[in-house]
Structure 1
Amino acid sequence: MRIAVDAMGGDNAPDVTVSGALAAAREWNDTTVILVGDAERLETLIGKHGARPSNLEIRHAAETIAADDEPVKAVRRKKDASMVVAGRMVAEREADAMISAGNTGALMTTGLLVVGRIRGIDRPALAAMIPTVDGVGVLGLDLGANMDASPEQLRQYAIMGSIYRNKVHGVSEPRVGLLNVGTEAMKGNELTKAAFPLLEQAPVHFVGNVESRDVLNAPCHVLVCDGFAGNVMLKSIEGTAAVVFSVLKREFMRSVATKLAALVLKPGLVRFRKNMDYSEHGAAPLLGVNGLLLKSHGSSDANAIKNAVRQARIAVQNDVVQSISTEISNGSEL
């Protein structure tokens, strides 16, 4: 198995991508991890970590797509950018999967222009894990790849998300919910009203509408929404979690008594924080493209990159892309 990592993508690249890739290569010696980026710089960073694993390779790429680059122009003009080179490796079957913490729009464009869509898919979707209090998580899609969606595209998201949760996370019959402002069948805007009956007829276990206030309690395994609503919900959850932990820390430091209370509660708080930590969930797959592309958080640390490799390995082993293609060809048209 060969997994390409865009070594130059992300807020903390290439230091954390090198550290994460090294950790992954050392843990899974059946997987070749390929760092794609400035070879000279990568060689220097690898040298600081001791002996280089035999299953770690470097593919030189002279250019980098920045976070503020316009996605389509960047992908078309920067043919030798690390993200584009990694995507081309997937398209040409030199790699089984690629991972990037870089520009989300550019990764979406790489998926469409370099790798290509699965036949029958209108638009790929970014499928990110939303942490839940029980540690199981909810796979939300789309969470930002496309700002708008049609009812039929939401149906496609439901099927792709259900396949992914089954193949990668081992959920035997994933429950699928539709993000909405109420649980009643005819609640919502024109999009959700039109999508509801399509999801009822889709080959998934549809459980109806889900309100955003209930998401952290894991009412479903897959949550379907358009990219605008999904991204707003995701950023709201991330922001709220950050504020809650900040306030708790401040309150626990107020006095000797609260510091003692913090010591007693620390194990539980650590477990809760780990459950809510995006880095533990690895990366978000871009479902619907004809290859396995995963998007890590822009501020990913080495642990997040390592977990992204772990997630990619499972997806490759379970042939997720082919499973989606097969679902289409078997008559469950997306």
Structure 2
Amino acid sequence: MNQANSSKIRFTGPGQYLAWMLGFLGLVGALLYALQDTILQAFESNRAINGLIIVVFVVAVLYTFRQTLAIGPAARWVRRLTAADDFSLLHRPPGLIAPMAVLLSETPGHLKLSSASTRSILDAVSSRMAESGEITRYLGRLLVFLGLLGTFWGLLQTVSSVGAAVSALSGSTGGEEDILKLMQALEEPIKGMGTAFSSSLFGLAGSLVIGFLDLQAGQSQNRFFNEIEDWIATISRVAIAGKEADPGSPAYTSALLEQAAENISALEKVIRQSEEHRAVGIEAVREEIKILTKTMITLSRGEHL
């Protein structure tokens, strides 16, 4: 590789974003410790659903860290690639950039990439990054879904228990014994409300935490992708400025315009994907808030009745 060209591009690791992720999890852990009694009480209202939510949350956290940590080996491999004289002497590339390594190995001369090779390399890396991000977003949506499932399960228990309580009080005389029966009959509806609200709390809070971690992982991947794109653009410019074309020739100008158009297209694609993912997350949170609002209104009306 040409050191004069490769030294212009710096491939950074995910250290900055890992620090943000660890700091955020530290704040969440401190908050959980401060509210541990309340959280444990909420967890006990429905161990099955809340336990499943916690398991999915832990899996999602571990996957986001795995997704972010994968940037480090990939960046180190590319740095070694830019300094290597022989491609065959490099170790096996990480999975994140494996398609790029295959395409580079099939290219006769790393410093002379055609427009088609450049486009294929960028598309391959972008596709691999998008694939890993989809799993994290799915786990975030799954947390919201499990929270909704617990909400409806708790509401089902509440409605059925209220009906049983009303039936038990039919024909009562209003004495002290009837009041005790009413208090006992209301225990199950209250437990159902606890199930509904606790599951919504765990699901929504977990989704918000995973959303922040996914944001940091996505930013780390985007920065690494931009660095690869800049490096590939440098290689392409070297190929254009070589013996293949004269700087004053129409072919040279056409190649430069084509490269600029490809870079703009890739940037537009990344921006569009980012906006779509953010819109999906906002819509999921909005639906959760709507359902919780309707639930509170329904329960409030039931208490007045």
> TM-score scaled to structure 1, two decimals?
0.26
Give the TM-score normalised by structure 2: 0.28
Structure having the higher helix fraction is: 2
Which protein, 1 or 2, shows the higher relative CO under an 8 Å CA cutoff with sep ≥ 6? Answer: 2
**Structure of greater Rg:** 2
As a proportion of its length, which structure holds more strand?
A: 1
